Structures are given as C-alpha cells and as structure tokens.
Structure 1
Amino acid sequence: MTVPVNANLPAHAWAAWSPCGPSCVTHAAARVPATTIARRYASFGRAIVGALRSGERIAEPETLRSRAAAMLDALGIRLEPAGDGLLSAPGGTGTLVVANHISWLDIIALLAVEPVIMLAKREVGGWPMVGPLTKRAGTMFIDRGSLRELPRTVGEMADRLRDGRSVMVFPQGVTWCAGTGGSFRRATFQAAIDAGAPIRPVTLDYVQHGAPTTVAAFVGEDDFGTSLRRVISARGLTVRVTAHRPLLPVAGVDDRRTVAARAQATVCGARLSAHC
C-alpha cells in the first residue's frame, strides 16, 4: 500500500484516519471492453431508477434486498455470502453488525444479504443516485468529524436494537484499500452493551477471478464518479460477505474495549495484519 502525499488528516485527535488514497487502487485483471462498460452504466441507471420508483417501499426488507442485489448485478459484481448467511442473530433484540470497511459497495452488498439499518457518514446522503436511496432506506447518518454527536448516535442505536432492529456499523470509521488497516473504534459497541444485544462480526473481501483486488476501494480524496467508473470497468469482480458467529457481551465482565477487540480479531482473522 502506498501512502499519498496529500493524504487526508484527521479532523481531531480522536478521529479515524487512513493513509490510503487513489494511488492504492488497482485492477487485478484486464478491464472489460467499452461495450460492456456502456451496458453496465445503462443497467445501473435503470436499477437506480427502479429503486427510486419504489418510493417508501424501499424501506421494506424484501424490496430493499432485491433492489440492492439488482444494483450489484447491473455493475457486474457477483455476491458470495459465506458463513451461516445471516446478519441478524436469533433473539428478542436486534443485532449490532460490524464489518471492515473498503468501499461504498460494502453497504449495497450487505443490504443484498440482509436489510438492516446502516450507520453511514453524513456525506453519503448527498451523493447522486445513492444518497436519496440511503435516506429512504432509513440509514442513520453521522458527522465523522464531530465528537458531540457520538453520545446521541449511540443512544439512538441502542434504542433501535432494543426495538428488535439490527444496526450495521463500520468500526474502523474510514475506508482502507484492502480492509486491512485501522483499529476498531469502541464507541458504537456501547450501544450493544446498553441494549444487551449480540454482535455479529462480518468480513468483506473483494476479489477478481479469485485474486485479491483493491479496485472496489473508495479511499482518500476519491470521488463517487471516479470510483464508479473503476468498478464498472472491472472484470470478474466478486464481493465476499462472511458472517461469523455472534459475540455475546457478558454483563459486568465485558466493556466496549474488550468487545471491540474481540470483534476486530474475528473480522480480521489470521489472514490479516494485526492492524486490520
């Protein structure tokens, strides 16, 4: 991984930060021909329009799942669920789903597996095409540069979990080109502890014809249009979504530091560096 000279600096001392930038992103296979690129743009546009026409129904689980799957298909991306194929764990409360973070595609892939409430950076709500959909789907937004919002956000997450709704977060707080950097931030794990909810660790991987690739990464000063062009031109791209066994915080024993460490170890596994 190369470190760009103009890497973004953190907004404050506790803010998540990644040195990854567009120079980290490469294709692991030859690009598709121009005719395929044009067809994918058209298909993706139709998928977005179809999702927008769903109106308020986009928040319905089966509608959201099918629309997300249609977007991946339009982009030529194969979805490969692994593990037990579930994000929510059985039980009366919702599940805090935590995953490594690589791309804006992470959200679409996870929703295609199982629709849950997403916690996303505020900027996503302003993106063309994707922004309106995330809002209608009930996504919770947070300003990553503001510490003041954290307690309120954690409280809202705990309320959703108590109500039986599962919430998806990316504890790294920022994208990494291969999902292999940055420590898991602890704050959002407090919501699971407060709600007595299980935590489902999920590992995301992107491969091209089985070879690891960074082509899907959305990092540094990247913009949505540039990232979309890379993804649409990628050949043989697959996103693997591996759901691990739920973690159950033990009251009076586990705090957010210990559960964050356990979740990170599960998501990263032996295949990744200690700094996943």
Structure 2
Amino acid sequence: MSGVWLPASPCTPRACAAHDGPARHPLPAAALLLAGCLLTLAGVLGAPLALLLRQRHREWLVRGWAHGVVRAFGVRTRIAGQPAASGGGPGALVVANHVSWLDIPLVAAVCPGRMLAKSDIRGWPLLGPLAALGGTLFVERERLRALPGTVDAIASALRGGARVVVFPEGSTWCGRGSGGPFRPAAFQAAIDAGAAVQPVRIRYLGAAAGAAAFVGEDPLAASLWRVVRAAGLTAEIHVLPRIPADGRTGRRALARLAQSTVASDSANLPPESVHH
C-alpha cells in the first residue's frame, strides 16, 4: 500500500478555470445559484427519509435528484451507456476521472452509490451533511496508516452489494490533458471483494468547459458562481464496459487498465445517447 497518498495536480484556478464562452447575466445566474443550492438543501433534508425506501426506489430518487441538481446549476448533460443491473453478490467499484465538484452529482445521476471522499468534505456547507447522510466513506489522506482501514471499509461495502464511487486520481484535474494516474489502493478493495470495476468518463464540452474546473485552492463559492455564469456548459458522461477484478490481476495493473479505458474512450457517442 505504499506510494503517493497525497496526490497533487499541477492545475490552478488562474491557469485552468477560465470561462471563454458566452456568459449569463448576473440576475439569471443568481437565480440558478439559488435554485441549485435549494435543491441541494432539499437533498440534505430528505436524505433520512430516502434511507427508508427500498434500494431500487432509493436509487431512482437519487438519480432524479442528482440530475436535477446539475440542471438547476445551469449545466446540460449528455449520457452514453448504462451501468450493469445490480443483482446478488458483490457490488461494483465505480471509478471516474475528476474535474469538478459537479462530477459528484453527475456520477450519482447514472451510478448512484457510496462515495469515497477526503475527510475535510464533511465540513463543506450543504454538501458535507448530504455526503455523510448518503453513506460517504471518508478517508484521511494525511494519515498513511489509515489507508488499510479505508481499503477494508470499501471491500466490506462491496461485499455487501453496494456500489462505491471513487475518483482514483486523488485530486481534481482541469480536464484539458490526460489527467493524473489512477491510484491503486481502491482497486485492491475490488480484488478483495471479488467486485467488478465500472469505469466512467466525464467531460465538459464547449467554450464554457473551463468554467467547470475546480482545482487547486479555488474557493467553492467562486467555482459555483463561475458555473452558473457559464452559458452553454454541457457535461458528457460515458458509462463504459465493466472490468472484472480477480486475484490474477494485481491492483496496479487493474488501476492502469481502468485509467487507459477512461482515457481512450471514443468521443463519438452511440445513437442511444440522450440530451437533457
């Protein structure tokens, strides 16, 4: 389990989080910001009730809510592919590249599951309480000794049939380059649990794409405002074929395979892609 536990991205707000496209007037942008925050707050307040629902109904509700949050912030979505139906046995480790805080509701809109997140997200307004109520697995990245316990917790959730969502780059990247390497620790959990890996690719399109980047020391409030001002911002989510995880494939090889699958995904969408 050795290796870099505190990944760093070279991306910075000044260099990467630029909005070069058309901008909304501040008044409609403020209305979108209010709508997005209110819908997020509704998710926080409604999470305890959602936990009382059956899994199928809860996933349907989470998908609808997550998609609504993205649209409320003024972002259009384009989706390709569907995750495999869940059944008996282990769940799936959902892995995706990481560009923005928007990635979280985007993945939840297609593959809802328990998120793996850094521990300081607990303190975020609105999103922190919602993450905790939604069963997020928090990891203390500053403590290398905590890593084996985190792997065990992920493996336990997978054995119980849950989806666990991980951004294995460990930090956000602006999306203009190849991104960071996928860290292998979470893939060990998939091997231990005998769970499949579900790769997902996220892209932000158009002249407004840079507005989505949430990198470096960028304040959350500044990123929220940049997103709602960016007219025409579109997020594209590809759900790619599952990769089986077993003892014959080591965690590092499995991480590299998942990374190359996400990185080499074709930009051409299949006919069943939908626009929202």
Q: TM-score, structure 1 length as denominator?
A: 0.87
Secondary structure of 1:215's counterpart equals helix
In the TM superposition, what is the alpha-carbon distance from 1:38 to its structure 2 partner? 2.0
* 4+ residue segments displaced more than 4 Å: 87-91
Contact 1:100 1:172 in 2 (8 A): yes
Contact 1:75 1:231 in 2 (8 A): yes
Contact 1:58 1:137 in 2 (8 A): no
Q: 2:12 — aligned with what?
A: 21
Contact 2:97 2:200 in 1 (8 A): yes
Question: Which of 193, 208, 216 is residue 195 of structure 1 equivalent to?
Answer: 193
Question: Which of 234, 248, 267 is residue 262 of structure 2 equivalent to?
Answer: 267
Q: Between Structure 1 and Structure 2, which shows a larger proportion of helix residues? A: 2
**Greater length-normalized contact order (CA 8 Å, ≥ 6 residues apart):** 2
Distance in 1 (CA, whole Å) between partners of 2:189 and 2:142 is 20
Secondary structure of 1:151's counterpart equals helix
Contact 1:201 1:263 in 2 (8 A): yes
Query: Residue 62 of structure 1 aligns to which amino acid in structure 2?
Result: W
Q: Deviations over 1:102-145 (max 9, x none)?
A: 11110111111231110011121111111111111111111222
Contact 2:22 2:232 in 1 (8 A): no
Distance in 1 (CA, whole Å) between partners of 2:76 and 2:240 is 20
Distance in 2 (CA, whole Å) between partners of 1:14 and 1:120 is 13
Secondary structure of 1:148's counterpart equals helix
Q: 1:136 to 1:171 in 2, by over 3 A?
A: same
Contact 1:66 1:112 in 2 (8 A): yes
1:67 and 2:65 are equivalent in the alignment: yes
Distance in 1 (CA, whole Å) between partners of 2:69 and 2:59 is 16
Secondary structure of 1:225's counterpart equals helix
Distance in 2 (CA, whole Å) between partners of 1:62 and 1:132 is 21
Distance in 2 (CA, whole Å) between partners of 1:88 and 1:225 is 37
In the TM superposition, what is the alpha-carbon distance from 1:161 to its structure 2 partner? 0.6
Q: 1:180 — aligned with what?
A: 178
Unaligned runs of 5+ in 2: 52-57, 268-276
Contact 1:78 1:237 in 2 (8 A): yes
Unaligned runs of 5+ in 1: 1-11
Secondary structure of 2:262's counterpart equals helix
Q: 1:55 to 1:261 in 2, by over 3 A?
A: closer
The alignment covers a number of residue pairs equal to 257
Q: 1:52 to 1:181 in 2, by over 3 A?
A: closer
In the TM superposition, what is the alpha-carbon distance from 1:28 to its structure 2 partner? 3.8
Contact 1:200 1:246 in 2 (8 A): yes
In the TM superposition, what is the alpha-carbon distance from 1:42 to its structure 2 partner? 2.3
Secondary structure of 1:41's counterpart equals helix
Q: 1:258 — aligned with what?
A: 253
Secondary structure of 2:235's counterpart equals strand
Question: Which of 96, 100, 113 is residue 99 of structure 1 equivalent to?
Answer: 96
